């Protein structure tokens, strides 16, 4: 029999090494080895999927740092298991951990298409572009089975509602038929996140996300089909992935990307501790250096959430990163802004949801 796995050691297919108590919980739990009982820790933790019966699926945003006002997140939690994910702390609102719970306790928006139709049919609804994947990935592995994102896209396509997708999954190609249909009217665009071109680093940092090659191939096929697609170099991690910025942008341009952007590593709330723990396990030789550079770009802290700087950072290191990005994009002819806002005049509210069971009196 194999020896039991030690605590806080990498799990197969998982990014987080632990499952700390949520920050809103009254009681904190800490495992202590007293030498009497040796608990066998599993090598893999399967994911559970539960329905999330939301009354609304459209979230509104007023942040000046984010280029959209409306978004839909088909799922809570994400089995891509990216250790750096800034969405992890949202699991605390459900009484769960930002660690392994975020990767294994997954929730899907039940009846998302029906709820969306009801919202779009409201007399006061104002059509503005909707972004899918602002928090967790709409094409994470469970989408193959649950098809919530597909259901949402079908509603948006029927209503001619503009949509932008952010993902790091090649599964987006499954819905190419709907995206092409929307894109012919300028109503669809896709942003694919590429963190690294190093397959080994990807497996440690984003265990269940698509390979770098698969993501770039998705960009190529989307653009070839007429769906405008760009690349987000995100997140940029100093002393770990930042040296790849030029190579990623070159690969994006070769794949036909229409635009490019980047976001600096963000470590809000519990994420900073989970990331430190991951660094110590996977890259102990440079862990202190990585965090030192992070603090240099965050005003001496692990994270600064101030509007205007949280996506890019401040200080000499952040300015150098910004300059490198801009120079490379100019050299490659990559746009640094997403496409112009689509024409919302094509929007048609869902007639069936709006009319209800009563027949129309239109002649």
pLDDT averaged per 10 residues, the chain (length 363): 52 93 72 58 84 90 84 96 97 95 96 96 95 95 97 98 97 98 96 97 97 98 97 98 98 97 97 98 97 98 94 97 98 82 90 49 41
Position 9 scores a pLDDT of 79
Structural domains for the chain: 48-261 (3.20.20.70)
Position 281 scores a pLDDT of 97
3-class DSSP assignment, residue 135: coil
Q: Say how many C-beta atoms besides its own lie within 10 A of residue 253's C-beta.
A: 18
Position 26 scores a pLDDT of 67
Where do the H-state alpha helices sit in 67-207? 100-104, 112-120, 143-146, 148-159, 176-183, 199-205
Position 35 scores a pLDDT of 60
Position 71 scores a pLDDT of 96
316: exposed, middle or buried (C-beta count within 10 Å: 0-12, 13-18, 19+)? exposed
- Is-contact 48 134, C-beta < 8 A? no
Single pTM value for the model: 0.90
Position 61 scores a pLDDT of 85
């Amino acid at each position: 029999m194999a020896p039991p796995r030690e605590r806080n050691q990498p799990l197969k297919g998982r990014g987080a090494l632990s499952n700390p108590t949520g920050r809103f919980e009254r009681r904190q739990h800490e495992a202590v080895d007293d030498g009497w009982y040796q608990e066998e820790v599993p090598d893999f933790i399967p994911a559970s999927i539960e329905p999330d019966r939301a009354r609304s699926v459209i979230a509104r945003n007023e942040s000046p740092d984010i280029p959209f006002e409306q978004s839909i997140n088909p799922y809570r939690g994400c089995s891509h298991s990216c250790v750096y994910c800034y969405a992890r702390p949202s699991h605390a609102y459900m009484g769960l951990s930002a660690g392994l719970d975020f990767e294994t306790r997954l929730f899907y928006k039940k009846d998302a298409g029906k709820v969306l139709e009801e919202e779009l049919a409201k007399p006061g609804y104002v059509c503005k572009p909707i972004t899918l994947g602002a928090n967790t990935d709409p094409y994470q592995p469970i989408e193959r089975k649950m098809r919530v994102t597909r259901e949402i896209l079908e509603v948006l396509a029927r209503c001619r509602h503009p949509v932008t997708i952010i993902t790091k999954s090649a599964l987006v190609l499954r819905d190419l038929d709907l995206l092409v249909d929307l894109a012919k009217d300028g109503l669809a665009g896709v942003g694919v996140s590429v963190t690294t071109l190093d397959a080994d680093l990807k497996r440690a940092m984003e265990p269940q996300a698509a390979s770098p090659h698969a993501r770039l191939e998705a960009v190529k096929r989307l653009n070839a089909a007429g769906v405008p697609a760009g690349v987000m170099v995100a997140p940029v991690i100093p002393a770990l992935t930042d040296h790849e910025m030029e190579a990623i942008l070159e690969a994006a341009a070769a794949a036909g990307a229409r635009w490019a952007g980047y976001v600096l590593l963000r470590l809000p709330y519990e994420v900073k501790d989970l990331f430190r723990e991951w660094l110590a396990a996977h890259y102990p030789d440079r862990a202190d250096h990585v965090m030192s550079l992070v603090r240099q770009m965050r005003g001496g802290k692990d994270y600064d959430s101030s509007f205007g700087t949280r996506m890019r950072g401040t200080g000499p290191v952040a300015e150098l990163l910004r300059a490198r990005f801009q120079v490379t994009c100019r050299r490659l002819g990559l746009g640094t802004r997403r496409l112009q806002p689509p024409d919302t005049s094509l929007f048609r509210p869902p007639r069936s949801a709006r009319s209800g069971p009563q027949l129309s009196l239109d002649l």
